[in-house]
Chains A and B, each alone.
Chain A
Amino acid sequence: MSSRDQRVHKGISSLVARLHVDIPGEDPESAEERQNNAIDFVTELLQSSKTPAVVADVNQASDLIKKRLIQTNASPEKALRFSQLYSRLLSIPVISQKWAVLYLLYQLGDQQQPSYVPPALTSPFKSPIKRPEKRKLEQRLTPQHSPPQSSRRDINEFEEAFAPEGLRRLPERPGGQKDRKAEDEAFNKNPATQRGIVTLKTALLAENYVEIDPPESALLRDLPFTLQGLSSTNLPFGTTKTLKIPPTLPVPIVSILHTLAEPSLLYRGLASFVKSADGGLLGQSLRAAIGGELRSYLGLVAILEGQIRRALSSLDENEPRGGIGKAGVTLKRCVVWTREATMGLRLMSLISEESKSKRGGQLISLIHGFSSSHGDPMVGAFAERLLVHVTRPFYDMLRHWIYDGELSDPYHEFFVSEQDPNAVTEAPEGKGRGGASSVWEDKYKLDEDMVPSIITQDFAQKVFLIGKSLNFIRYGCGDSQWVEKYSKAASKELRYGDTETLETWIDEAYKTTMARLIHLMAEKFHLFEHLKALKNYILLGQGDFIALLMESLSSNLDRPAGAQYRHTLTAQLEHAIRGSNAQYDSPEVLRRLDARMLQLSHGDIGWDCFTLEYKIDAPVDVVVTDWGNRQYLKVFNFLWRIKRVEFALSLTWRKCMTGARGVLQGEDDSVAQAWKLTRGVLAEMIHFIGQLQYYILFEVIESSWDELQTAIHREGCTLDDLIKAHTKYLNAITHKGLLGAKKKYHGEVDENTFMVQLGEVLRLMLSYRDAVDGLYSYSVAEFTRRQGADLRSEAQSRREDDEGHLINTPRSTRRGPRHVDSTPAQPADEGISDEFPVLRERLQGLGGHFKSRVCLLLGDLAYQPDVDMRFLGVVMNFNDVYQPVRKKHKSKETVRAAVTAAAKS
């Protein structure tokens, strides 16, 4: 390369020499020095800028020259001349850097140009608006004026050069492909060349540029303010939702500004949304999250502003388009830079709009919907980011709820809501449940609409239970120390994201809380003992106690209800407890046992009103609710009646049995027959009562109790499970115990419940017993009379033996020693003898009635869906003594007919 350097050096020195100006009177030495300096300067300058800033392309230089010629001269003559020269030049292969020489000439050409010509080929337009028209005119004219000698190719090139698209295909060059290849390589190797392409493109675009008002630079200057939602001179905001764009702008710029106006307006809307204060905690956190996003948007705007400032400061006002094309910041570029931010703003404004009608969990669901089910991953990621901030208060509430059992939700945004106590009592379902029950059942409510989609319904249920239990432990069970200790020990910060950990924590909390609650119920409040006591005393499980109580109370209770006094009842109860195994029960249980009278109505006797009561207080009444208490009472009353009938029947039976050995033995066949029948019916009744009692106590209560036991001792049993199990237990007892079972057709429900039927049967039994007692007294009276007669006859015979004249005295006239007064005895005897047929008839009637009733009952039982109840029927009628009747067929038909008729009309 040294030869080349030499040549270059030589060239430079000759160039300097050529351009050197002699100063007259200067000594040759200094002239030479000045020349040398010039040479050094030139060499340095030339060596430093090795690469051209423009594309190495012959055509480009020639295009530029052509343009220059056309622009500077009115006629196309010179341009045509140049075209000819150019085509000739191309045909000569001697030099390789034709374009460079052309470019040199081009550069040197117009001396009027500003001192430094930028690489971006400048256009000397002075009045750009006028220019295009002129150029178009020339474009139109040129082909017509093209001289005939110019070749076709020249015309093509000529036209090509004026093609508004600017860049065009490279013309094939006679110089051969080699040059092209070398050039291409230079293209690829040299980034500066690449930059050159861009500059060239911008330069060509600049050629088509039309001046706008206000200028783009002014618009750019205003743009940062617009993006921040601030009005500026050129782009003032109208109302909150409009941006005024200067009407003088051409359409493309307007469309660009429209695109840029979108983020600006969205920002304005969002900024006002962030400033607005309504909405709960979640709404506020949403605002904060959006505010954060807006800050980062403002950061972007600031960067943009910096870029714009820098670009504008480096602008040269004299250049075309204000030199914006060169500065690297244009409106279009701003559009590109703000595009992603615009997407974010758009999403946020959508969320803010939607959030106005939503609150709490729904808000989270809304954003979570974007993050989980939106197809655009960018939107998903964005929503996810928002979600982390937005859910913070939600997780705070959740933490308070599951670790402290407190609902800190001033805006009702959590999915658990506290019930208004007044609303609860007024609610139709609130059957006056009081005390702890309402703390558990009604104090808090799970609002399914508010459960955010980030947690499942099951999960929400669990969370609800945890908090409710903690709250209950604290307020219902008075164990706030434990809750505090627990909340200190277990409290963890919850946040959005790691659902799995959250679930484990919540499961943990759930287990701990539930275990604690059950533990409290069992140990501190003796729930299970209470249940057992209820079964023993109210459901008559404790046989010896009940028997003793009944025995001691029976004489008392036979009197009218008005004559019952509480103190006597409690005294008898105390006696029964002392005298039975109940005395070994814990005082805690016995303290709650009480005897009292129910509301009495006219004509009731003590038996109807007496009841035992087991007092349950908070918090156990969560399980044994008021409703439960009523059920217990109902069962007790029913059982008590059965017991009483059994007691009465067995008393009568005992009397009959003992009497049969003595007083009931008589010669009268009809009386003996009556007794026989009576004993039969009595046995039937006792069998019936026995079966009924057996059924209720063993088949119903014990089996249900067993189920209850397994249910409440199951692992992981919650208080809700307990309540449910207990309710089921009571329902099973009342249903199977013939207390609640309704017959299928509703028209006659009241008359046809088993309760009513059984009541009828029991009443029949009691009347029968009365009748039997009547028969017994009759028999006793008869016996006494007979005995008296015997005594008299004995005495008479003795007297006859003694006196011998009294044998023929009629028996009726004889007076025993007890019947001193004969006058009243005579009618009494007659009364008794008159009484017998009435008694017999009554007994027969009652017995028949009883049988038919039992048959009916059995008929009903046989068609019960419940196996146990059918079993009761079978047990009672094990040897088919009774013919079960379904007498209701007919009435059922009529009822149906009536119903269908009613429906038709």
Chain B
Amino acid sequence: MPPEYDARQDKQARAAQAKQVVDIFLEISTLLNSELDRETLSVCISLIENGINPEALAGVVRELRKEGEEIKKEIRGGQE
């Protein structure tokens, strides 16, 4: 469905489309089991749209997750 809207309606349509895209990506993400929630995904999409290297971004995300994981483990270890 090619977008043939007036300029007026453009912004609205864009927003809808963005939502749609995020939906699709989210679904793919779940398919791939990448454990991203919607907000994180949209942040990532916007970062990529701004020219960030996806590979590096993936690394960063993984790194941050690992860190978080470790902290959580520590916390758990501290609690026990």
Interface set of A (CB-CB < 8 Å, partner B): 4, 7-8, 11-12, 14-16, 18-21, 23-24, 38, 42, 45-46, 48-54, 65, 68-69, 78, 81-82, 85-86, 88-89, 91-97, 100-111, 115-117, 119, 174
**Main SS class of interface, A:** helix
A323 nearest CB across to chain B (Å):
19
Contact residues of B between 52 and 74, Cβ < 8 Å to A: 52-65, 67-68, 71-72, 74
Residues of B within 8 A of A8 (CB): 47, 50-52
Q: Which of A38, A94, A103 contacts B64 (CB 8 A)?
A: A38
A19 contacts which chain B residues (CB < 8 A)? Answer: 40, 61, 64-65, 68
Task: Verify A95–B21 contact, CB threshold 8 A.
Answer: yes
CA distance A109 to B61 in the complex (A): 11
Task: Check if A105 sits within 8 Å of B53, measured CB to CB.
Answer: no
**Given A19-B64, A85-B24, A174-B2, A108 and B48 contact (CB-CB distance below 8 Å):** no
In the assembled complex, which residues on chain B have CB atoms less than 8 Å from the CB atom of A115? 62
* Inter-chain contact A7/B29, CB cutoff 8 Å: no
Q: Which residues of A contact B55 (CB under 8 A)?
A: 49, 52-54, 103, 107, 119
Instruction: Give the shortest distance, in Å, between A186 (CB) and chain B (any CB).
Output: 12
Given the known interface contacts A65-B28, A85-B24, the answer about A21 and B71 at a Cβ–Cβ threshold of 8 Å is yes
A107 to B44, CA, bound (A): 13
**CB-based contact B45/A95 at 8 Å:** yes
B46, closest chain A residue (CB): A11
12 A-B Cβ contacts within 8 A?
A8-B47, A8-B50, A8-B51, A15-B47, A18-B39, A23-B74, A46-B52, A46-B60, A48-B56, A97-B49, A101-B48, A102-B28
Residues on B facing A (Cβ under 8 Å): 1-3, 14, 17-18, 20-21, 24-25, 27-29, 31-37, 39-40, 43-65, 67-68, 71-72, 74-75
B21 lies within 8 A of A11 (CB): no
User: Taking each of A14, A16, A65, which has the highest tally of chain B beta carbons within 10 Å of its own beta carbon?
Assistant: A14
Nearest first, the 6 closest Cβ-Cβ pairs linking A and B are A109-B32, A107-B58, A21-B68, A108-B34, A100-B54, A49-B56
B61 and A94: CB pair below 8 A? no
Beyond A46-B60, A81-B27, A101-B45, list 19 extra A-B contacts (CB 8 Å). A11-B44, A11-B46, A12-B47, A15-B47, A21-B68, A50-B51, A52-B53, A52-B54, A68-B32, A85-B31, A94-B14, A94-B20, A95-B49, A102-B28, A104-B44, A107-B54, A108-B35, A111-B35, A115-B62
Q: Bound state CA distance, A101 and B36, in angstroms?
A: 12
In the complex, how many residue pairs between chain A and chain B have their CB atoms under 8 Å apart?
165
- Nearest to A174 among chain B residues (CB) is B2
B75 touches A23 (CB 8 A): yes
**B32 touching A94 by the CB < 8 A rule?**
no
| CA gap between A46 and B61 in the complex, in Å | 11
With a cutoff of 8 Å between Cβ atoms, the chain A residues found around residue B67 in the complex are: 21, 38
B33 touches A109 (CB 8 A): yes
Asked if B29 and A105 make an inter-chain contact with CB atoms under 8 angstroms apart, the answer reads yes
Are B31 and A101 in touch, CB under 8 angstroms? no
How many whole Å from A123's CB to the nearest CB in chain B? 16
Find chain A residues with CB under 8 A from B63 CB: 45
A53 to B57, CA, bound (A): 13
Chain A residues with CB under 8 A of B52: 8, 11, 46
Chain B proximity of A250: nearest CB distance (Å): 34
- Distance (whole angstroms) from the CB of B49 to the closest CB of chain A: 6
- Tell me the minimal C-beta distance from A111 to chain B in angstroms: 7
**Residues of A contacting B33 with CB < 8 Å?**
109-111
Minimum CB–CB distance for A62 against chain B, Å:
9
Say whether A82 contacts B49, CB under 8 Å. Answer: no
A111 to B50, CA, bound (A): 26
Question: When chains A and B are docked, how far (Å) is the Cα of A438 from the Cα of B18?
Answer: 112
Would you call B57 and A4 a contact (CB within 8 A)?
no
Docked-complex contact A108 and B43, CB < 8 angstroms: no
Q: Which residues of B contact A93 (CB under 8 A)?
A: 3, 17
Chain A nearest CB, measured from B77 CB (Å) = 12
**When the two chains form the complex, which single residue of B1, B18, B64 contacts A42, counting CB atoms closer than 8 Å?**
B64
Is the pair B48, A23 in contact by a Cβ cutoff of 8 Å? no
- Contact check, B64 vs A108: say whether CB atoms are below 8 A apart: no
Please measure, in the bound complex, the distance between the C-alpha atom of A104 and the C-alpha atom of B72, giving whole angstroms: 25
A763 to chain B, nearest CB (A): 128
**Residues of A close to B58: CB separation below 8 A:** 103-104, 107-108, 117
